[in-house]
Amino acid sequence: MCRIGNEERSMKRCLMASILLVGMAILAAGCATDSNQNGFKAYRSGDYVAAKQELTALAEQGDDQAQLYLGLMYRDGQGVMPDIREAEKWLQRSAEQENVAARIALGSIYADRQGLIHDDVKALMWFNFALVLGGSEAASLREDLLVRMTPVQVKEAQQLGREFKSEKYYQSMVRELRPRAESGDASSQMKLGGLYYKGQGVNRDYAEAARLFRLAAEQGDPYAQSNLAYMCEHGEGIPQNYREAAQWYLKAAEQGNIQAQFFSGGLYEKGQGVPQDDVTALSFYILASARGDARATNERDRLTVWLSPDQVAEAQRRAREFKITVK
C-alpha cells in the first residue's frame, strides 16, 4: 500500500504508480477473453494505430472492455495524441457498465492534482463504486485520497454517488426504449423523446427529442403531439413555428390532452399561428379547467371578467360542442 507523507510529490508518485498497475492488471485480465478480437490483439502487439480503428468501432457499439482500452490509449497517448477529455469520456462509458478497472482508472485521473480535470469528489465516488464491485486495488487509493479531503467533500461524493445511481436508472430506460423506438413503436418514441428533452440517461438534445416526438405524433400519440407543439411554439430544437404549434396542439386537444387544450387557449388569446380570438381562447381554458388544470382555471376566471356575458356564453357553448375523441 502507498503511504502518504506531508509532501505533495509523495501523493503524486503513489497515484502514478497505481495508474500503471491498473493498466497492467487490465491487460492481463483481458488476454484470456479477448484474444480472438483484432483490436485487442493489435493493442497487445503494440500496433496502436490499428488498435484504435478496431477498438473505436467496438466501443461505439457499447463494448465496455473496448471503451476501457480506448480510454487508456487517449490517457497515455498510444496511437493518438494524448487527450484527457476523450480519455474521460470513454473511461466513464466503460465505468457506467460496471467495469471495475475503468472505475479505478477514472478515479485515478480525477485524483491527479496536476491533471487538467482534477476533482477529488468525483475521484472518491469512482473509487467507492470500484470497491462495491470488489475492486480491492481502489482501497489504498481511496485511503490516500481521504487524507486530503474535508468532511464536506466526502459528503458531496456520497451525494454525487446517489445522483449517479439515479442516472443509471434512466440510462437503463434508454437502452430498453431505443430498439423499440427504432422499430416504430410510438409510445417508446414519445418516452425516449422525453428523456432526450430532459437530459435523463442521455445528453440533453432538443433536436433529437423533437425528431422522436414527431415520429410518435405522426402516429397519433397525443402526448407526443402536445410536446412537439410546445417545441414548435418555443423554437426548441426546431425553428419556431406558431402555425405548426397550433395544428399539433389541436390534434392533441381533440384527444383530450389537457396541456394541449391549455396552450391552445394561449395561442388564440395572443393570436400566434391562429387568428386572435378571446372567445375561442376562453373555450379552451374552460375545457382544460374542467379537467382539473389549475392554470387554466386562473386564465378562465381572468378572461371571464373582461369578456361580455354573451361572449362568455358563446365560449361555454363552444367548449360543450368541442369534440374529443380518445384513441
225 with 207, same domain: the answer is no
203 with 225, same domain: the answer is no
Q: How many CB atoms lie within 10 A of CB 83?
A: 14
Candidate from 63-67, 209-213, 238-242 with smallest mean pLDDT: 63-67
Q: Is the model's pLDDT at 63 over the cut of 60?
A: yes
Average the pLDDT over 234-239 and give the result: 96
pLDDT at 36 (0 to 100): 39
143 with 198, same domain: the answer is no
| Buried-exposed string 222-261: b where 16+ CB fall within 10 A, e elsewhere | bbbbbbbbbbbbeeebbeebbebbbbbbbbbbbbebbbbb
**Is residue 2 in a domain?**
no
Q: Which helix (H) or strand (E) holds 273?
A: none
Cα–Cα distance for residue pair 320/248, rounded to 1 Å: 21
Q: Which helix (H) or strand (E) holds 204?
A: none
175 with 68, same domain: the answer is no
Average the pLDDT over 221-247 and give the result: 96
Q: Residue 73 corresponds to which cell in the numbers above?
A: 490509449
Angle ∠(199,202,208) on CA atoms, nearest 5: 75
Read off the pTM: 0.55
246 with 312, same domain: the answer is yes
pLDDT at 70 (0 to 100): 92
Q: Is the model's pLDDT at 13 over the cut of 90?
A: no
Average the pLDDT over 1-27 and give the result: 45
Q: Is the model's pLDDT at 175 over the cut of 90?
A: no
Q: Is the model's pLDDT at 31 over the cut of 60?
A: no
Q: Which carries the bigger pLDDT value, residue 37 or residue 110?
A: 110
pLDDT at 178 (0 to 100): 92
Contacts of 56 (CB under 8 A, 6+ apart): 66, 70
Instruction: Identify the domain boundary among 218, 247, 266.
Output: 218
31 with 141, same domain: the answer is yes
Cα 120 to chain centroid, rounded: 23
pLDDT at 62 (0 to 100): 75
Identify the band that residue 109 occupies on the pLDDT scale cut at 50, 70 and 90.
Answer: very high
Domain count, the chain: 3
31 with 127, same domain: the answer is yes
**Is residue 1 in a domain?**
no
**Is residue 277 in a domain?**
yes
DSSP class of residue 133 equals: T
pLDDT at 61 (0 to 100): 78
pLDDT at 162 (0 to 100): 86
256 with 315, same domain: the answer is yes
| Residue 206: domain span | 156-218
Instruction: Identify the domain boundary among 104, 125, 149.
Output: 149
Q: What is the pLDDT of residues 303-322, one digit of tens each?
A: 999 999 999 999 999 999 99
- Mean pLDDT value across the chain: 86
Q: Rounded to a whole number, what is the distance in angstroms from the first to the last CA of the chain?
A: 65
**Is residue 298 in a domain?**
yes
Q: Which carries the bigger pLDDT value, residue 36 or residue 159?
A: 159
88 with 167, same domain: the answer is no
**Is residue 167 in a domain?**
yes
pLDDT at 21 (0 to 100): 43
By the 10 Å C-beta count (0-12 exposed, 13-18 middle, 19+ buried), 17 is classed as exposed
140 with 21, same domain: the answer is yes
Q: What is the CATH number of the domain that holds 237?
A: 1.25.40.10
Cα–Cα distance for residue pair 299/151, rounded to 1 Å: 50
